[in-house]
Structure 1
Amino acid sequence: MKTARAFFIGIGIFYAVFNFLGTLPFSTAGFLGTMYPGVDLHMGEPIFQLLQDAWIIVGIQLGAIGLVALWGARDPHRYAAVIPVVIVTEVVDGLWDLYSIIWSHEVAWMGIVTVVIHVVWIAWAVAAWRALFPRDGAAQAA
């Protein structure tokens, strides 16, 4: 149960705080410029505003999952369904990062760092799931 509770708190903070704050307009301008160096992002133009609006919706969605995870840390068994949601979210985001590196001019080092972060979250999610639902049926102290 400790593994699952720690996962819920970790992913909750990461999604609700870091991902949400990282998608707010005051932080995206510089961040996107670092992510896509050499790409004319048309900052100050309506198309850039559209990009920021889309980016913040992603942040709001991740923030919502994070809040549910933080709430679920009180009773990880009851909120276990959050774990597959996180796994699928991380797989999709990881695929998006690979796409961005290969075809959308994302700087490789940043894309690779984010892919590694996705893999870490997926591995921790699987560990949390196994701690809640051990295959052998024996109670685990995790």
Structure 2
Amino acid sequence: MRSLRIFLIACGIWYLCNLVLLWPQVYAGTLPLIYPGLDLGQGKPVFGLLLDAWLIVGIQLAAIGVVALWGARQPWKYIALVPVIVLTEAVGAAWDIYSLLCSGEAAWFVITTLAAHGVIAIGAWYAWSASHRDKTQQG
């Protein structure tokens, strides 16, 4: 269960960090780097709406992060979080690919985020597999 506990703690912390990274005052400064050359409407009400929408994503990720941290106390009881995390990462990866192809998102940013999604998915697979092996060995 150690690997599952570590995975849940790592994801919990990462998802809470995403809330900080998507906080409007932080994210507003990074959006021009992520979408270079696009008029994002900075200074207009629509830009505030964009930042608010991303804040909601951050809050949703943080909610998963809080549950993951809580679940790390009893990892086997909360193993169902692993598929939730994998699906969350799959949706994020699909969004990143869409954003690269259709929305002008910077390739360096897409590659970075796809790598993060991949690391989390591989970690999930390892934690899931190791936990089931541990549970089988325990009887």
The aligned counterpart of 1:71 is 70
Structure with the largest fraction of helix: 2
Please state if 1:122 is matched with 2:121: yes
Gaps of 5+ in 2: none
The aligned counterpart of 2:12 is 12
Q: Secondary structure at the match of 2:84?
A: helix
Output one character per residue of 1:66-123: Cα deviation in whole Å (capped at 9) or x when no partner.
0000011101001111110000000010010011111110000111110011010001
The two structures, once aligned, show a CA RMSD in angstroms of: 1.4
TM-score, length-normalised on structure 2?
A: 0.95
- Mapped partners of 1:55, 1:30: distance in 2: 13
Please state if 1:46 is matched with 2:45: yes
Q: Secondary structure at the match of 1:42?
A: coil
Runs of 4+ in 1 over 2 A off after TM superposition: 134-139
- Mapped partners of 1:137, 1:71: distance in 2: 24
Q: Secondary structure at the match of 1:123?
A: helix
Same amino acid, percent of matched pairs: 47
1:138 positional shift? 2.9
Q: Which amino acid aligns with 1:127?
A: Y
> 1:66-105 residue pairs with structure 2 within 5 A?
66-105=65-104
Q: Aligned residue pairs: how many? A: 138
Q: Which amino acid aligns with 1:94?
A: A
TM-score, length-normalised on structure 1?
A: 0.93
1:135 positional shift? 9.5
